[in-house]
Amino acid sequence: MSKGRFGTFTGVFTPTVLTILGLILFLRMGWVVGQSGLLGALIIIAIANVISAFTGLSLSSISTNMHVKAGGTYYMIARTLGLEIGGAIGIPLYMSQAISVAFYIIGFTEAFLAICPGYDPQLVATGIVLVFGILAYTGADFAMKIQFLILTVMIASMVSFFSGGWGSEVAVQFSTPSEADASFWTVFAIFFPAVTGIMVGVSMSGDLENPARSIPRGTLFAIILTWVIYIATACWLASHATTEELLKNNMIMHKVARWPVLIIAGIWASTLSSALGSILAAPRTLQAIAKDGAVPKIFGSQLGSATEPRMAVIITTAIAVCIIWMGNLNFVAPIISMFFLNTYGMINLMAGVERLVGNPSFRPQFKVHWAISLAGAFGCYGAMFLINVWATIAAICISYMIFLILHRRSIQQNWGDVRSGIWFNLAHYGLTHLNREPMNVKNWRPNIVVFAGLSKSREQMMDLGRWLSSGRGVVTLWHLLLGNVSELCERGLREVSTKKMQDYLIQNGVSAFSESTITEDLHQGVLGVMQSHGMAGLEPNTSFMAWSSHVETQITQLKIMRDLLHLKKSVMFLHYNQERGFGQKKRIDIWWRGLDRNAELMLLLAHIIKQSRDWEGCVIRVCRVMENENAAKGAEEHIASVLKKVRVDAQPKVFVESLKEKPFDVLLKSVSTETDLVILGLREPKLDDIEQQATDINALFPITATALMVRSGEVEDILETGN
């Protein structure tokens, strides 16, 4: 069969009508009217068809915005909401289509045995499934050719039905009769498969000449026509059969009809055509899912055919046989209803979300207001809960489990979806409102730019950055590429650098951003990034670099720090001890010079690090050096009162030493030898003293602990609690 062979009437309208006007119409419509009364039956028909119509509108909107390929509904969901959600809905959808094959054949068998009793119903149904499986295995051409004959038989059967019963009217039972033994929503669940035929045309999308035109026209016209037929049938049955007949005689249409043999022909034709349509649609859905890798690709194998999904046909036939041996119509119908309602709900939801998100790429020829689509989604999921709460929860859990499995498999998709648009809108909304709110120190949190790039210290710096964010801040890994812009761009180094950093973050499970910038000068590159990065209250407030081992670079780093302090940006330098690393992550020492902006930042950073899982339970010591015992006692009491006020769990530790006799670097080494992380404050550099300051800093590093050197650029007390 060549691609794009079928038009609107042949490929969508006719198979949709034939599937909708199936066994529910001929074998259960009387029972629906008998259980609910005419008014209840009309309400059930209305609810089901409104859901179907809203879904049809949503389908039409989405299908006119993309080239719908094989897979129909699954293809649209996967390309709109992503592969994981597409698989989570598509796999249950396929199962419901496969179960529908059994559903329709069970209906045919029931009608067949009413005329020709004595045969084993399961053997009859199994034989028909196998025959249909062979037809589907051979190809779809035969099914499409005979559907016009089936449509003719259907028209004749309806003419026969509405021609009968003249002069034999009965009193209409409008309300629910006393003989009814099924609830309203139970009846709805059994009726709802009648309107699920709208999926047939969409499932054949890969074989349509123009899916964007055929799917909306064929589907919506089929819904309108069949809606009218169901209403007319319910009214005719209610006025021509008693409640007892409606409840007990599944072949009541046969009795009312003028030429009963045409009703039998209509039942057989409708059920068999619906089964044939489903056994053609289901394998194509499975084949599309397999091509995307959501299920083993062998499921989509064509087994030597140029176009037919033969392996999927075999699997579908096997599933249908299993269902036939498991239950009857009333057992199978609610299962199909749940799966289809879940699918319908997702179709409506994604159409509504696409319209609300407003991606420029969403430009459907057939426009539907988002409220209609979301109302359809609400109707689907509301109906599911009203039918059976536990079955609904089970259906949602099954879809969610499939989603998790696909998500963990990290299957790559080569198409975009609406999820990025959703996050963009949420980010836009949040940033707009954040920008309107005045910044308060009570809400201060680290927004750190880690200038690590591809250096060896990157991993340690990202570890510390991750601990400092821990869901409470923002970390951006930034690689400054030093060199000429045109030369480095020609070599593609910026893209390569960004990709490597992104891969690193993903592989290590780090929740951070990554960027690369080309600059001819380190100093100006850092200043440019710190001034231009971020927006709307999310500007970076802290620069983080590894302390260089080269004196010239150290001098540059201190000059950068001086300029960043003028911009009110804090600065951190990491001196990483390769032998000790971060030790056992059991103790942090803060070396305190008094309560100022620098001390506040050091204390808050230590507190944030302690909140991370790796440092949970560690001890924070606030260390200070005093010249005599009296001063030491007062200092310890002061530190303790500050810690209590700001509610930071730390221990004051005051040492009585003369720094003239025992230099600070010697004291630091002796006190913090077993410490896992030392936090030191830096003074603001002076232009005429930068080289000496670099020398003084380097003198501190005979210590064995990893050191974090900090200089605060904040102008307010970030430990302020608002009390």
Helix (H) or strand (E) holding 84: helix 83-115
pLDDT in tens, 575-585: 988 888 888 89
Indicate if the pLDDT at residue 659 is higher than 70.
Answer: yes
Q: What is the pLDDT of residue 421?
A: 57
Confidence band for 234, pLDDT divided at 50, 70 and 90: very high
Residue 78: Cβ-neighbour burial (10 angstroms; 0-12, 13-18, 19+): buried
Indicate if the pLDDT at residue 3 is higher than 60.
Answer: no
3-state DSSP assignment of residue 683: coil
Specify the range with the lowest mean pLDDT, choosing from 37-41, 268-272, 572-576. Answer: 268-272
Query: Considering the chain, what percentage of its residues have pLDDT values greater than 70?
Result: 86
The mean pLDDT of 384-402, rounded to a whole number, is: 81
Indicate if the pLDDT at residue 409 is higher than 80.
Answer: no
Q: What is the pLDDT of residue 1?
A: 39
Rounded Cα–Cα distance for residues 675 and 312 (Å)? 63
The mean pLDDT of 319-345, rounded to a whole number, is: 76
* Contact in structure between 194 and 270 (CB atoms under 8 Å): no
3-state DSSP assignment of residue 598: helix
Most confident option among 78-87, 111-120, 504-513? 111-120
Query: Are 373 and 452 contained in the same domain?
Result: no
Q: What is the pLDDT of residue 213?
A: 80
Indicate if the pLDDT at residue 144 is higher than 80.
Answer: no
Query: Are 213 and 302 contained in the same domain?
Result: yes
Tokens for 598?
Answer: 């620098």
Asked whether residue 14 is assigned to any structural domain, the reply reads yes
Most confident option among 38-47, 338-347, 432-441, 634-643? 38-47
Asked whether residue 168 is assigned to any structural domain, the reply reads yes
The mean pLDDT of 621-642, rounded to a whole number, is: 87
Rounded Cα–Cα distance for residues 59 and 171 (Å)? 41
Give the CATH number of the domain where residue 136 resides: 1.20.1740.10
Asked whether residue 496 is assigned to any structural domain, the reply reads yes
Q: Residue holding tokens 């810690």?
A: 643
Output the DSSP codes for 206-229.
GGBS-HHHHHHHHHHHHHHHHHHH
* Contact in structure between 719 and 475 (CB atoms under 8 Å): no
Query: Are 399 and 513 contained in the same domain?
Result: no
Domain count, the chain: 2
Confidence band for 560, pLDDT divided at 50, 70 and 90: very high
Specify the range with the lowest mean pLDDT, choosing from 169-183, 196-210, 377-391, 564-578. Answer: 196-210
Q: Between residues 139 and 75, which one has the greater pLDDT?
A: 75
Specify the range with the lowest mean pLDDT, choosing from 165-174, 207-216, 524-533. Answer: 207-216
- Phi and psi, residue 699, nearest 5°: -70, -15
Indicate if the pLDDT at residue 266 is higher than 60.
Answer: yes
Closest CA to 555 of 697, 662, 402, 422: 697
Indicate if the pLDDT at residue 397 is higher than 60.
Answer: yes
Angle between the N-to-C axes of helices 29-63 and 211-238, in degrees from 0 to 180, rounded to the nearest 10: 160
Q: Between residues 517 and 42, which one has the greater pLDDT?
A: 42
Query: Are 240 and 177 contained in the same domain?
Result: yes
pLDDT in tens, 93-122: 888 888 888 888 887 887 788 788 888 888
Asked whether residue 419 is assigned to any structural domain, the reply reads no
The mean pLDDT of 244-249, rounded to a whole number, is: 89
Asked whether residue 399 is assigned to any structural domain, the reply reads yes
Query: Are 62 and 189 contained in the same domain?
Result: yes
Q: What is the pLDDT of residue 571?
A: 93
Q: What is the pLDDT of residue 723?
A: 44
The mean pLDDT of 477-493, rounded to a whole number, is: 84
Give the CATH number of the domain where residue 704 resides: 3.40.50.12370
Mean pLDDT (the chain, rounded): 82
Asked whether residue 120 is assigned to any structural domain, the reply reads yes
Query: Are 136 and 16 contained in the same domain?
Result: yes
* Contact in structure between 575 and 549 (CB atoms under 8 Å): no
Query: Are 366 and 483 contained in the same domain?
Result: no
Confidence band for 368, pLDDT divided at 50, 70 and 90: confident
- The residue range of the domain holding 210 is 8-347+359-407
Helix (H) or strand (E) holding 285: helix 260-291
Dihedral sign for Cα atoms in the order 561, 713, 511, 464? positive
Query: Are 451 and 364 contained in the same domain?
Result: no
Q: What is the pLDDT of residue 238?
A: 92
* Contact in structure between 243 and 173 (CB atoms under 8 Å): yes
Q: What is the pLDDT of residue 564?
A: 94
Confidence band for 440, pLDDT divided at 50, 70 and 90: low
3-state DSSP assignment of residue 331: helix
Q: What is the pLDDT of residue 562?
A: 93
Query: Are 370 and 470 contained in the same domain?
Result: no
Query: Are 130 and 257 contained in the same domain?
Result: yes
Asked whether residue 624 is assigned to any structural domain, the reply reads yes
Most confident option among 36-50, 163-177, 423-437? 36-50
Indicate if the pLDDT at residue 689 is higher than 80.
Answer: yes
* Contact in structure between 518 and 481 (CB atoms under 8 Å): yes
Q: What is the pLDDT of residue 170?
A: 86
Query: Are 447 and 490 contained in the same domain?
Result: yes
Query: Considering the chain, what percentage of its residues have pLDDT values greater than 90?
Result: 15
3-state DSSP assignment of residue 249: coil
Classify 53 in phi/psi space as left (phi over 0), alpha (psi -120 to 50) or beta. Answer: alpha
Q: What is the pLDDT of residue 708?
A: 92
Helix (H) or strand (E) holding 510: none
Asked whether residue 48 is assigned to any structural domain, the reply reads yes
Query: Are 454 and 399 contained in the same domain?
Result: no
Closest CA to 243 of 167, 175, 291: 175
